[in-house]
Amino acid sequence: MTHLELTKPFQSRELAKAIVKKINKLSVELSKKGFEKINIMHVCGTHEHTITYYGLRALLPENINVIAGPGCPVCIVPAREIDEAIKLAKEGIRIFTYGDMYRVPGSYEGLSQAKAQGARVTIVYGFLDAIRLAQKSEEETVFFGVGFETTAPTTASFIVNNKVPKNLSILMSYRITVPAVEYILSAPHNLNGIICPGHVSTIIGAGAWSFISEKYELPTVVAGFEPIDVLLAILYILEQLINGKAELINEYKRVVKWEGNQVAKKYLSEAFMVADRDWRGIGVIPNSGWLLNDKYDYLDAREKFNVKIDKWIDIKGSCKCADVVLGRAIPTDCPYFGTSCTPQHPIGACMVSSEGTCSIWYKYGGHMIRKMRKDINTEGI
């Protein structure tokens, strides 16, 4: 079966109409039960891309609100850590970084501006690229390790298998999504359900999200990334609300296992240790990131090059990036959105990455939702 054959049913217009019809019916029933507004948060930049690109919010009844949560890995990297990478690059050490990270602003500039001034910055697709490039020279190099549970295992596997050349160090900036969701839910909130990220769940397993339904009694769905995946996740949450249930459903069974990828998790536990880590503009979230285990601290770029940044600026002016990441604001709440802050000239990190909510809304018209909903409601589903 080809990829096209596999995904085509999950992009079916007729199936989408049928699901939306059920969602509309349940939304009416829920409103009669006192649910004036049903707030569902997803935790993935790719989910936000699917929702906005395909205009899914415009298909939903007005009492259903789908909120973007902390699903963009480069958006939450503290400015201090970007400043560290820039400092090393300006000192003559070659920095390897992802394309998304290249343009994210630090306190005063991003890696792209630093490179324009002569700093040594090279864009790579992954850690393997960094290894291959480092092996071609004897110069000191540093890989800026950014990402969630999806990308971190690749780095961990090369570390554990002793495949990292001596002239390559790692500037660790990996974060863990589960504690971020716990952080949001442990504070006062008005959420009625959670859609969990499919990519991350392939590594950590669907079972890692069971605390949401068990501890916080919220309907929870692990979902894929096609339009039908997302619509089904919303439908499953509404069905649970109607029936007074709070369960964890794995909608993405074609990819995600309950226990996750045991090999990847083993590499993570061997190479890294869990630590309290800063999230940009949010502060410290307990147990929300990784550092190198003591056994591999010789790979730590911060220790090797004695990198220290005393002052940094995470949020500039009235930028709402941190609130957008936490689902407490939408991009149009920010006074800079679409005016002084654009993908070409970003003020906040959320306007840079393909997984950043502000960037997605700007590119695909997320801010036009009210007009889209009106037009569709006029035509009928």
Specify the CATH number for the domain of residue 215. 3.40.50.11750
- What band does 371 get if pLDDT is binned at 50, 70 and 90? low
- For residue 213, is pLDDT > 60? yes
- For residue 379, is pLDDT > 60? no
- What band does 3 get if pLDDT is binned at 50, 70 and 90? very low
- Average pLDDT estimate for 221-236: 97
282 CB-contact burial (10 Å; exposed 0-12 / middle 13-18 / buried 19+): buried
- Average pLDDT estimate for 68-82: 97
The predicted pLDDT at position 7 comes to 53
The predicted pLDDT at position 12 comes to 83
- What band does 87 get if pLDDT is binned at 50, 70 and 90? very high
Residues 6 or more apart whose CB falls under 8 angstroms from that of 111 comprise: 82, 85, 86, 89, 95, 97, 101, 102, 103, 104, 119, 121
- Give the chain's domain count: 1
The predicted pLDDT at position 117 comes to 96
62 assigned to some structural domain: yes
46 assigned to some structural domain: yes
Strand partners, 66: 40
- For residue 37, is pLDDT > 60? yes
- Average pLDDT estimate for 206-233: 97
115 assigned to some structural domain: no
The predicted pLDDT at position 175 comes to 98
The predicted pLDDT at position 6 comes to 46
Q: Could you tell me if 195 and 221 are in contact, meaning their C-beta atoms sit under 8 angstroms apart? A: yes
Helices 45-53 and 357-364 cross at an angle (nearest 10°) of: 20
192 assigned to some structural domain: yes
The predicted pLDDT at position 110 comes to 96
d(CA 352, CA 319): 14
238 assigned to some structural domain: yes
- What band does 369 get if pLDDT is binned at 50, 70 and 90? low
Q: What percent of the chain has pLDDT over 90?
A: 92
- Average pLDDT estimate for 117-139: 97
18 assigned to some structural domain: yes
- Average pLDDT estimate for 21-26: 97
- What band does 8 get if pLDDT is binned at 50, 70 and 90? low
* Chain mean position to CA 84: 22
Residue-number span of the structural domain to which 250 is assigned: 3-71+185-259
The predicted pLDDT at position 10 comes to 74
- What band does 377 get if pLDDT is binned at 50, 70 and 90? very low
The predicted pLDDT at position 380 comes to 34
Q: What is the pLDDT of residues 243-290, one digit of tens each?
A: 999 999 999 999 999 999 999 999 999 999 999 999 999 999 999 999
177 assigned to some structural domain: no
- For residue 5, is pLDDT > 50? no
Give how far Cα 368 sits from Cα of 19, 343, 365, Å.
23, 18, 5
Q: What is the radius of gyration, based on Cα positions, of the chain?
A: 21
d(CA 225, CA 206): 15
233 assigned to some structural domain: yes
Q: Could you tell me if 269 and 292 are in contact, meaning their C-beta atoms sit under 8 angstroms apart? A: no
